[in-house]
Amino acid sequence: MGDSANGLINRPILASIHTAAFQHNLNRVRELAPESKIWSVIKARAYGHCFDAALKGLASTDGFALLDIQDAAWLRQHGWKGRILLLEGFFHENELSLAQELACDLVVHCEAQVEWLERFKAKNHKPFNVFLKMNTGMNRLGFKPDNYRTAFHRLHAAGYHMHHMTHFANADQIDQSPTVGAQQELFNQTIEGLEGSTSLANSAAILWHRNALGDWVRPGIMLYGASPTGLHADIKHANLQAVMQLHSEIIDIQDLQKGDRIGYGGRYEATAAMRVGIVACGYADGYPRHAKDGTPVWVAQGNEGVVCPLVGRVSMDMLAIDLRKAPNARIGTAVQLWGDKVPVDDVAQMSDTIGYELLCAVAPRVPVAIK
Amino acid sequence: MGDSANGLINRPILASIHTAAFQHNLNRVRELAPESKIWSVIKARAYGHCFDAALKGLASTDGFALLDIQDAAWLRQHGWKGRILLLEGFFHENELSLAQELACDLVVHCEAQVEWLERFKAKNHKPFNVFLKMNTGMNRLGFKPDNYRTAFHRLHAAGYHMHHMTHFANADQIDQSPTVGAQQELFNQTIEGLEGSTSLANSAAILWHRNALGDWVRPGIMLYGASPTGLHADIKHANLQAVMQLHSEIIDIQDLQKGDRIGYGGRYEATAAMRVGIVACGYADGYPRHAKDGTPVWVAQGNEGVVCPLVGRVSMDMLAIDLRKAPNARIGTAVQLWGDKVPVDDVAQMSDTIGYELLCAVAPRVPVAIK
C-alpha cells in the first residue's frame, strides 16, 4: 500500500480487487444456472472494480454486458473476443456503425431505436443480434406487451436476429408488486410462438427464482460478492466472496475527554475518555457520508484485527473511529473499510443504501491494485 | 453533448465545468476577504470538477491547497508556479524529498510528522513552510493547545518557517459547540507571542464570520458555487455561481396508468395516468440513490425549461421523472440534473446530504467538458 500506479507516493488508501474472487463468484453463477449462458454485467467500470480486473477475473464468461460503447471498444482492444451486449443499445443513430465494427449485440427498448435500425439495415449492413426489451411492469425501459410483438416483427422483417429480454423489478423482495411470477407470465405470453432466446434473470433471480432463469442470465452484484437486497444476511450462505477490499490507515489519534465532540456539527459526543483514530478515508473517496455512528471499521491488531465503531460524521477526506477496542492502534495502523472483514452491505445498511452504490462510488482518487 | 474525450460516442451524460464561474466565485472571496491571501482548496479532483478546469478558472489564486502529492506534481507539470499547500502534510517520511522538489508547503498535525521533519532537517535539506495545525475542538487533526507550543518550538528550532492553522467545526451553524468564537479564542491565546501567519477560515467563516479570517483563508465549497450548510437558501444572496452543470437526456418514455409502479421496489405508484421520462443518469453516475420523490430535475421545453419531479427510486444508470409539466418532452430532450437551473444543494437536501458529497461523487464514466 502507498505506492500509486505512477510510482509516486499516495495517501494511504487503496482498493484491492481480487480476481480469484471474481472467478469464484462466476463459478457460483454456473452452478446456480447450469443450463444458461452468462452475460456478466460490468457496467459502471465493473461496479467500480475497473475493467482490467473484470476482464481478468471473469474471462470464462460467455459475454459481457455493459452500457458505454467506448467500454466495448476497450474490451476489444484488450483482446476480448466473446460476445458483448450493449444494455441500453445505442443512444444515437450514428453509433451503429461502431457497434457493428465492435460486433456488439444490442438491447432495443424504444420505438426510435427500431426506426434507426430499419434505416440502418436498408443500407445493407449486416444484421445485429437484438435483445428486444419488454416492459413487463418495471416501467423503466422497454416496450409494453401491446407494442412488443409489432417491434419484434418489424426488426425480424428487417433481417435482425431477434431475442427476448425483460427485467425484474422485485426479484429481491417477497410479494411486492409487480412480482417475478407476474412479470414472467406476461413475458412468456407475449413471446409465445416467436423465435429467439430469452434473458430475464438478474442476480436476485439467479439466487432466489430458479424457475425464471431463461437462456441467458445477467448476474451483476453477485459477481462482486455483494447482496442484491443490500443485506449481507441474505447472501451469508450463498458462498460468494467479496471482490473489493477498501483499505486505509490511521493518520492521527486524538485523546478525548467525556463531553468532547468530533468533526463537523459535533454529531458524536464522547460519553467517557476515549482514544479516537482518524482514518484517511472520507466521502470524497466514496465512503458514505450517511454512515451512522457504529458503522463497523476493521482495525489491524497484531496478526488479528478487531471491528471498531465509526464515531461522528464522515468528512470529505477523513473519518473517525472509537479505538477503545484497539488499544495497540497507532498512526500507520491498517484499517479495512469494507471487504472480507467487513461486508460492504453492512456499511451500506448503516448508511441507508445498498452495497451497489458504495462499490460504484469508489472515487478516481483511490488507487486500485489488481490481485 | 455526446462526444467523449476520445472521440467515441457516449451515453448522453455530461458534466460541463464553467471556468468563468470559478473566476467569479474567486473574485467574491477577494471581496469578502480583501486583506487575506487565498488558498483555493481543490482536493478531491477539485471537488469533482477536475484539475484542468480549476487551474484554468482559479489561476489568479495565491495558492492551491490539496491532499495528494501526485496532484501537486500534476499542478507543477501543468505550469503552476504559485504556492501549494498539502492539507494533511505527508503520510510517510519518504514523501518529504518529493514535497521539497515540488516546493510544497506542509500542514503538520501530529507528533510523528514532527519527528520525521526533525530528522529530515538534520540531513541539511532546505526548510519547508509549515502550517502547524491546532485542534481547537474539531477533534480531527492537530495538536491540542497543551502540545501545540512544544511542537512549534521544536520545528522552529529545526529551522522551519512556521505558521499557524486551525479548522472550525461549526462555522456553518449557530450556537453549536464548539463555536467559532470559542475555537478562535483558544487559537489566539495559544499562539500569543509566536511568529508566523495564520489560517483559519473555511467557506462558512468567509461568508459568516468575517472577524475570523486570518492571513490566509481557505475557501472550498463556495468556489464551486454551493453552500457550506447544504442549503441553497443560505447562499441565495451571496452572489455565487454554480460551476458544474450535470446534463443528460431522456432515453425512453413510458405511459403509465393509475396504479402502475416505477423501478426497483416499486416505490412510486402513479396516482393518475402520466407520462414518465427515463433519464440516462443513475447512482453509478454520482446521482444520489437517496433522492426522494419530488427531487427537482430541469427539462428543456422550447427555449425555456420546466422543473419536473423525480419519481421512483434512482437506479444504477437511470432515473425517472414525471413529465406532466413537460408535454413536449420526447426521447432526446435535454435535462439538467444540477447546475444553474437546479442548485446542487436542492438535490442534496432531497437526499439528506450536502452538495459537497454530490459534486465529489460525479463518476469517472461521466465525460467532462471544460467551458
The tens digit of pLDDT for each residue in B206-244 reads 999 988 899 999 999 999 999 999 999 999 999 999 999
The tens digit of pLDDT for each residue in A305-347 reads 999 999 999 999 999 999 999 999 999 999 999 999 999 999 9
Confidence bin at A1 (pLDDT 50/70/90): very low
List the grid coordinates of B32. 469578502
Task: Indicate the helix (H) or strand (E) that contains A110.
Answer: none
CB contact at 8 A, B321 and B298: no
- What pLDDT, on the 0 to 100 scale, is given for residue B9? 65
User: B109 and chain A: CB distance < 8 Å anywhere?
Assistant: yes
Largest CA distance in chain B: 77
Backbone angles phi, psi at A159, to 5 degrees: 100, 5
CATH architecture designation of domain B19-233: Alpha-Beta Barrel (3.20)
> Identical fold at A19-233 and A244-370?
no
Q: Where are the alpha helices (DSSP H) in A144-199?
A: 145-157, 180-191
User: Which positions ≥6 away from A116 have C-beta within 8 Å?
Assistant: A90, A93, A96
The tens digit of pLDDT for each residue in A270-303 reads 999 999 999 999 999 999 999 999 999 999 998 8
Ranking A70-79, A116-125, A344-353, B144-153 by mean pLDDT, the lowest is A116-125
Ranking A24-28, A135-139, A171-175, B126-130 by mean pLDDT, the lowest is A171-175
User: B47 and chain A: CB distance < 8 Å anywhere?
Assistant: yes
Q: Assess whether A292 carries a catalytic annotation.
A: no
CB contact at 8 A, B113 and B107: no
Length of chain B: 371
Region A197-203 average pLDDT = 96
- What pLDDT, on the 0 to 100 scale, is given for residue A57? 98
* Alpha-carbon gap, residue B92 to B20, rounded angstroms: 38
- What pLDDT, on the 0 to 100 scale, is given for residue B1? 29
User: A2 and chain B: CB distance < 8 Å anywhere?
Assistant: yes
Region B23-46 average pLDDT = 97
User: Which positions ≥6 away from A228 have C-beta within 8 Å?
Assistant: A171, A172, A202, A203, A204, A207, A221, A222, A234, A235
Angle, in degrees to the nearest 10, between helices A180-191 and A145-157: 40
**Contact state of A139 with B256 under an 8 Å Cβ cutoff:** yes
Residues of chain A found within 8 Å of residue B276, distances taken between Cβ atoms = 139
Min CA distance, A169 vs chain B (Å)?
A: 5
User: A56 and chain B: CB distance < 8 Å anywhere?
Assistant: no
* Alpha-carbon gap, residue A200 to A213, rounded angstroms: 6
Region A226-254 average pLDDT = 94
- What pLDDT, on the 0 to 100 scale, is given for residue B263? 84
Long-range contacts of B56-61 (CB under 8 A, 24+ apart): B56/B19, B56/B22, B56/B370, B57/B17, B57/B18, B57/B19, B57/B20, B57/B21, B57/B22, B57/B23, B57/B26, B57/B243, B58/B22, B58/B23, B58/B26, B58/B223, B60/B23, B60/B26, B61/B26
Region B113-126 average pLDDT = 85
- What pLDDT, on the 0 to 100 scale, is given for residue B171? 86
CB contact at 8 A, B287 and B319: yes
Alpha-carbon distance values, A85 to A33, A98, A161 (Å) = 19, 13, 14
Q: How many CB pairs under 8 A join A and B?
A: 233
Interface of B with A in 167-206 (CB under 8 A): 169-170, 172-173, 176-178
- Going from N- to C-terminal start, the domains of chain B cover 19-233, 244-370
- Among the partner residues A2, A139, A262, nearest to B260 by beta-carbon distance: A139
**Contact state of A11 with B88 under an 8 Å Cβ cutoff:** yes
User: B10 and chain A: CB distance < 8 Å anywhere?
Assistant: yes
Residues of chain B found within 8 Å of residue A318, distances taken between Cβ atoms = 140-141
Tell which CATH classification among 1.10.150.120, 1.10.3720.10, 2.40.10.220, 2.40.37.10 matches the domain B244-370: 2.40.37.10
- Among the partner residues B11, B69, B332, nearest to A9 by beta-carbon distance: B69
- What pLDDT, on the 0 to 100 scale, is given for residue A361? 93
Return the DSSP state at B126: P
Q: Which residue has the cell 406532466?
A: B324
**Contact state of B320 with A256 under an 8 Å Cβ cutoff:** no
* Alpha-carbon gap, residue B157 to B159, rounded angstroms: 5
Quick check: B5 pLDDT over 80? no
Query: Chain A residue with minimal CA distance to B228?
Result: A264
The tens digit of pLDDT for each residue in B42-65 reads 999 999 999 999 999 999 999 999
* Alpha-carbon gap, residue A336 to A248, rounded angstroms: 6
Quick check: B142 pLDDT over 60? yes
* Alpha-carbon gap, residue B168 to B198, rounded angstroms: 14
Mean pLDDT, chain A, integer: 93
* Alpha-carbon gap, residue A288 to A129, rounded angstroms: 40
**Contact state of A44 with B316 under an 8 Å Cβ cutoff:** yes
Q: Is A162 annotated as a binding residue?
A: no
